[in-house]
Amino acid sequence: MRVTEPVTRLRTGVLYRWRYLAKPRIRTSYAAQWAGGLSAASVVAIRPAISLGRTATGVISTRVLGARAFAARGVQLQRRSAAGRWITIRRVRLNRRSAALFRVTLPRGRSDLRIAMSVNQAGAGYLGGFSRTIVVRRP
C-alpha cells in the first residue's frame, strides 16, 4: 500500500503512544509511517444512521441515512423477547427515499422495538446497525 495523502503529523508521547481522532469518509484507509516503515492499513467502515418512530396511527416508521441511498435494501423490525433476545417480527425493503413502514399488531402489554440492518444489506463500506429502542404499550 502506498500513502497517497498525508492527513497529519503527530509527535509521540510517553512510551511512544499517540492518538489521532479522525472523521473518516466511507471506506477510508489509514496507515502510520515512521522512520521509513509503514504500518498495515486499517480500513474504516461506518454505520448508517437508522431512525425509528411511530406515526399518529401507530404505524412503525424507519429511515436509513448514509453517504448514499439505501433503496431496495432490507431492514428488520425486532422485538425483545421475555428472555432478552431480539426476535425479528417483520422484514421489509426500503423505498427510494430509504424509508419504510411496518404495519404490525403487537401483543398486549409492553413491547421494546428496534430496527436492524445487517452488514450485507448496508453494503460495501458500511457496518450493520440498529436504531434506538422504543417502548410501545398496547392495552
* Rounded-to-10 torsion of CA 23, 27, 33, 37: 160
Give the predicted TM-score (pTM) of the model: 0.76
The Cα diameter of the chain in Å comes to 68
CA distance 59 to 21: 40
Mean pLDDT of successive 10-residue stretches along the chain, which has 139 residues: 64 73 74 79 85 94 94 98 97 98 95 97 92 95
Q: What pLDDT is attached to residue 1?
A: 47
* Rounded-to-10 torsion of CA 6, 12, 16, 21: -60
- Domains assigned to the chain: 14-44 (no CATH), 49-138 (2.60.40.10)
Q: What pLDDT is attached to residue 4?
A: 64
Query: Which conformational region is residue 31 in: left (phi greater than 0), alpha (psi within -120 to 50 degrees), or beta?
Result: beta
